[in-house]
Amino acid sequence: MDDRCIIIGAGHAGSQAAISLRQEGYTGEILLINDEEDIPYHKPPLSKSYLKAPEHGGLVLRPESTYRDNNIELVFGHRVDTVSIGDRTVTLDDGRVLNWSELVFATGARARIPDVSGVDLDGVVTLRRMQDARRIAAMMPEVQNVVIIGGGFIGLEMAHSAIALGKKTVLIEAAPRVLGRSVATHISVHVEARSRSAGIALLTGVGVQEIEGANGRVIGVRAVDGSIFPADMVVIGTGAVPNVELAEAAGVLIDNGIVVDEHMRASTEHVYAIGDCVSYDHFHAGRRVRLESVQNATDQAKHVARSIVGRAAPFREVAWFWSDQGDMKLQTAGLSFDADRHILSGNPEENAFSVFHFAGDRLVAVDSINRPADHMIARRLLAAGISPTEADIAAGAARLKELIANAAKS
């Protein structure tokens, strides 16, 4: 058959993969399949600027004409029901059977729903897609009390958006601190204090017993300690689950995501996977990871395009993340899994500081709040494999840039 690459999923990863294939010289057909009808859009603003001013719109990643000009066929509003590796086909929900020579899973992740009674009540929401954001934005004018379950990035962003909209906002986190799996204790402590000063009632170390309702609609949340919090809206922000069922049913290897090698190749020939649904061995972390970020999705999309056209290069991108929460811009470079030493730079009281994480003498990550220059330098340090000393960090940005420049010369 003629070359045809089918990409399942049109988030940041899928959209970028389609465009990158053309940029890398792929001449076959490209079909971008998505069960949403919206043209691919920016997802980070959904929990922030979109909720505050949904009428402004402006979230489209690329105009529809870009796909048309690059001869990329959009098959939107349809779900892939089955994938046959042997026949190299996908079957859509309308019965169409499409052949492929290369297949890319860019199926993303969905909200993890806790095992708590009441999650199916009207007024209990998750936020992963545009249709979720539209639903929440439409509800907001009638909402007075918002309870958010989960103190990760989505939960905290939603909490700050809700409080900015004048809603009484409660955030409940079962772990001892917010962002516990993502950032240093210094950052968590600062985010908690800043969030409380913004008016958010933030509780940590508190589990949820049930979501209460009346006449099918949410009215409150009961914590395990018996406390009851009134709620017109409950936001579930308890993590995400990778969408791997389609790949798994097709016989593709799964391990907390679709397993891929350093070229984004799955366990089956001519099958690839990218983005939030992917599990891979991270070159810097030294372990298998699954990362949920726009940066990771976009970089993997660019790499998979090179792999498909025969110019495969090992995936060696430094992981980085960001989150806007009220007056805090939190940015992270690297992965701090094995960190056993932490160096503070800057002053938390000024709401601008960074934490450098080390495993022994090796720099593994840097968390920054309102220090974008530190973040950019950190990405360059990690990419070059440079581990500054405590004296280097104390000397400031000029010294760190000098280390980078010296490494480039050697």
Query: What is the pLDDT at residue 410?
Result: 77
**SS3 of the chain:** CCCEEEEECCCHHHHHHHHHHHHCCCCCEEEEEECCCCCCECCHHHHCHHHHCHHHCCCECCCHHHHHHCCEEEEECCCEEEEECCCCEEEECCCCEEECCEEEECCCEEECCCCCECCCCECEECCCCHHHHHHHHHHHHHCCEEEEECCCHHHHHHHHHHHHCCCEEEEEECCCCCCCCCCCHHHHHHHHHHHHHCCCEEEECCCEEEEEEECCEEEEEEECCCCEEECCEEEECCCEEECCHHHHHCCCCECCCEECCCCCECCCCCEEECHHHEEEEECCCCEEECCCCHHHHHHHHHHHHHHHCCCCCCCCCCCEEEEEECCEEEEEEECCCCCCEEEEEEEHHHCEEEEEEEECCEEEEEEEECCHHHHHHHHHHHHHCCCCCHHHHHHCHHHHHHHHHHHHHC
Q: What predicted TM-score, i.e. pTM, was given to this entire model?
A: 0.95
Q: In one letter, which amino acid is 210?
A: E
Give the Cα separation of 362 and 386 in Å (integer).
Answer: 8
Q: Is-same-fold flag (4-108+243-309; 113-239)? A: yes
Rg (CA), the chain: 22
- The closest alpha carbon to 358, from 389, 328, 404, belongs to 389
Q: Which of 159, 83, 289 is nearest to 275 (CA)?
A: 289
Homologous superfamily, domain 113-239 = FAD/NAD(P)-binding domain (3.50.50.60)
What does the alpha-carbon distance between residue 34 and residue 271 come to, in Å, rounded to a whole number?
18
Using alpha carbons, select from 56, 53, 77, 73 the residue that is nearest to residue 64.
Answer: 73
For residue 1, the model assigns a pLDDT of 59
Q: Any bridge partners for residue 232, and if so which?
A: none
Tell me the domain boundaries of the chain.
Answer: 4-108+243-309, 113-239, 327-408
Q: Report d(CA 110, CA 126) in Å as an integer.
A: 9
CATH code for residues 327-408: 3.30.390.30
Along the 410 residues of the chain, how does pLDDT read in single tens digits? 589 999 999 999 999 999 999 999 999 999 999 999 999 999 999 998 888 888 777 799 999 999 999 999 999 999 999 999 999 999 999 999 999 999 999 999 999 999 999 999 999 999 999 999 999 999 999 999 999 999 999 999 999 999 999 999 999 999 999 998 889 888 999 999 999 999 999 999 999 999 999 999 999 999 999 999 999 999 999 999 999 999 999 999 999 999 999 999 999 999 999 999 999 999 888 899 999 999 999 999 999 999 999 999 999 999 999 999 999 999 999 998 889 999 999 999 999 999 999 999 999 999 999 999 999 999 999 999 999 999 999 999 999 999 999 998 87
Class of domain 4-108+243-309: alpha beta
- Spell out the SS3 assignment of 295-321: HHHHHHHHHHHHHHCCCCCCCCCCCEE
In the prediction, which pLDDT does 385 show? 95
